[in-house]
Amino acid sequence: MMFTRRNKEIFLVLASLLLATGCQSRYQPIETSAAQLSGPLGLPAESENAVRDGGVQTGNTDEASLALRPQENTGGPLGSLSAAESDPAGGEAEPSPAETEPTTPAAPEFSAADETVYVTGDAVNVRASWSTSGDVVATLNKGASVKRTGFSEEWSRVIYQEKERYIASRYLSAEAPETQAAVRPAAAEGEVRLDPNWKYAEFSKINSGAAMLYKADGANRKGITVCVNAGHGTKGGSSVKTLCHPDGTPKVTGGSTAAGATTATAVSAGMTFADGTAEPKVTLALALKLKAKLLAAGYDVLMIRESDDVQLDNIARTVIANNAADCHIALHWDSTTNNKGAFYMSVPGNSSYRGMEPVKSHWQQHNALGESLIGGLKKAGVKIFSGGAMEMDLTQTSYSTVPSVDIELGDKASDHSDGTLETLADGLLAGINAYFGQ
Ligand SMILES: [Zn+2]
């Protein structure tokens, strides 16, 4: 085995040298290979980053698994990376000026492209740079499409939300998936009840009600299910308490439930707008508008509530969304009185909270979805509060295993006329489209 591997190394090093002498710009990858020589067990240094990446432990599809298998990189200029990296002696690698900056990989050499490509796995990371340590700006599911402007063996340069981003090339294909509807085994349209066998179902206290699943029926059907959760609207919900976190730890931020509490109201009643309208009425009105727009755009929709009352607490709503939808969007208005604008509840930057499952495996998805929704609202002309995010430890977030956001569309002083709700629904749809690369 060593013998064959060595032959391969020699071949690849020779190939690299040929490339290096043949074309000046090809020299870059060789410098990179020397720079990354110090990875553990001869693996590229990049694999250290990969271990830090949430995708590895959670089973999310991520480019990290590529980084952990350098031997699969054969051929092409990047193939030379593996050759030098997997030789701990480094004898054949040229001494390189890049050794003085070992933590900055050289830019991959991208071949120009101008094509639509499709994501081939679920929860594939979209990154700000061509490295597994680059910030994750979004995660895309199977079937999402992006425009590719360049590619190397490892990384593709894509345009995502009008910005240049990077996705591991192995998770992109120029061929459209056969039928996206086949991705998720078709759940029957109709009622979706809490299955007691679902993960975290046992933490719910109010769950005799049912959500409703609607399927898009046009030719544009995407095979993506959006859970629309009209906030509040559970009679008796405010007199029942449920665990804030599945592991029983206390809340890390203060909101309607104080920091340090281990239990929270199962479903609160919601606030009352300055004009006397109850929040649950308005969240329902917006949810119905969003449902219609999503169905018309080809999304399947899981509606948590379509009347004044549904007997599902926040945990039941979340667990149903986890099992029957690809994302979960809860609609709310805040209880301040200054018409401060829309924002989403982001996952607190608290190490114990972000270290707790299922938050640990999903917090980046939650925040990426929140950012997308705010981006869509902003484009629709909706007033945005501050940076568009406020850190909050919520029951919803604490139990979510799909991208999940509580979005606050305004507050007690905000206009909630029909026209405004139309605009809000348009903005949310734009944000959902952006998140799923549609
Ligand atoms: Zn609310």
Compute the distance from residue 125 Cα to the ligand 1 centre, in Å: 30
153, 284: one domain? no
191, 161: one domain? no
Compute the distance from residue 59 Cα to the ligand 1 centre, in Å: 33
How many CA atoms are closer than 13 Å to the CA of 382, on its beta-carbon side? 33
Compute the distance from residue 402 Cα to the ligand 1 centre, in Å: 20
Element (H, E) at 65: helix 64-67
Contact predicate 179/221, CB 8 Å = no
125, 221: one domain? no
Compute the distance from residue 333 Cα to the ligand 1 centre, in Å: 5
What is the distance between the alpha carbons of residues 194 and 209, in angstroms, rounded to a whole number? 8
Phi, psi of 148 (to 5 degrees): -100, 130
Total of domains in the chain: 2
Compute the distance from residue 240 Cα to the ligand 1 centre, in Å: 17
Compute the distance from residue 279 Cα to the ligand 1 centre, in Å: 7
What is the distance between the alpha carbons of residues 32 and 73, in angstroms, rounded to a whole number? 14
Compute the distance from residue 270 Cα to the ligand 1 centre, in Å: 5
Report CA 84 to chain centroid distance, whole Å: 34
What is the distance between the alpha carbons of residues 112 and 110, in angstroms, rounded to a whole number? 6
Contact predicate 366/405, CB 8 Å = yes
Closest by CA position to 409, among listed 436, 386, 432, 382: 382
114, 244: one domain? no
Compute the distance from residue 250 Cα to the ligand 1 centre, in Å: 21
Element (H, E) at 50: helix 46-52
Compute the distance from residue 406 Cα to the ligand 1 centre, in Å: 9
Compute the distance from residue 335 Cα to the ligand 1 centre, in Å: 8
Element (H, E) at 51: helix 46-52
In a domain, 202, yes or no: yes
Contact predicate 422/412, CB 8 Å = no
Compute the distance from residue 376 Cα to the ligand 1 centre, in Å: 20
In a domain, 400, yes or no: yes
Residue 173: which domain range? Answer: 49-70+109-177
In a domain, 168, yes or no: yes
Q: Hey, CA dihedral for 182, 183, 184, 189, is it positive or negative?
A: negative
Contact predicate 321/396, CB 8 Å = no
pLDDT in tens, the chain (438 residues): 444 444 555 555 444 544 444 444 333 333 333 333 333 333 333 333 332 233 333 334 344 333 333 333 333 333 333 333 333 333 333 444 444 444 556 788 898 999 999 988 878 889 999 988 888 888 888 888 899 999 988 899 999 888 899 999 988 988 876 644 434 445 678 999 999 999 999 999 999 999 999 999 888 999 999 999 999 999 999 999 999 999 999 999 988 888 999 999 999 999 999 999 999 999 999 999 999 999 999 999 999 999 999 999 999 999 999 999 999 999 999 999 999 999 999 999 999 999 999 999 999 999 999 999 999 999 999 999 999 999 999 999 999 999 999 999 999 999 999 999 999 999 999 999 999 998
Compute the distance from residue 329 Cα to the ligand 1 centre, in Å: 12
Closest by CA position to 17, among listed 9, 8, 27: 27
Compute the distance from residue 232 Cα to the ligand 1 centre, in Å: 6
* pLDDT tens sequence across 210-251: 999 999 988 899 999 999 999 999 999 999 999 999 999 999
Compute the distance from residue 343 Cα to the ligand 1 centre, in Å: 12
Domain boundary among 177, 210, 233: 177
Compute the distance from residue 404 Cα to the ligand 1 centre, in Å: 15
Closest by CA position to 82, among listed 153, 135, 156: 153
Query: Which DSSP string corresponds to 258-319?
Result: -TT-SEEESS----B-TTS-BHHHHHHHHHHHHHHHHHHTT-EEEES-SSS-----HHHHHH
CATH number at residue 124: 2.30.30.40
Domain boundary among 126, 144, 177: 177
Compute the distance from residue 312 Cα to the ligand 1 centre, in Å: 15
pLDDT given at position 255: 83
In a domain, 315, yes or no: yes
Compute the distance from residue 238 Cα to the ligand 1 centre, in Å: 12
pLDDT given at position 27: 36
pLDDT given at position 216: 95
What is the distance between the alpha carbons of residues 387 and 201, in angstroms, rounded to a whole number? 34
361, 393: one domain? yes
239, 222: one domain? yes
296, 154: one domain? no
In a domain, 10, yes or no: no
Compute the distance from residue 166 Cα to the ligand 1 centre, in Å: 36
Q: Which residues of 341-380 are buried (b: 16+ CB within 10 A; e: fewer)?
A: bbbbbbbbeeeebeebebbebbbbbbbbbbbbbbbbbbeb
Compute the distance from residue 230 Cα to the ligand 1 centre, in Å: 9
304, 427: one domain? yes
pLDDT given at position 105: 66
261, 379: one domain? yes
Compute the distance from residue 271 Cα to the ligand 1 centre, in Å: 7
In a domain, 62, yes or no: yes
In a domain, 208, yes or no: yes
In a domain, 95, yes or no: no
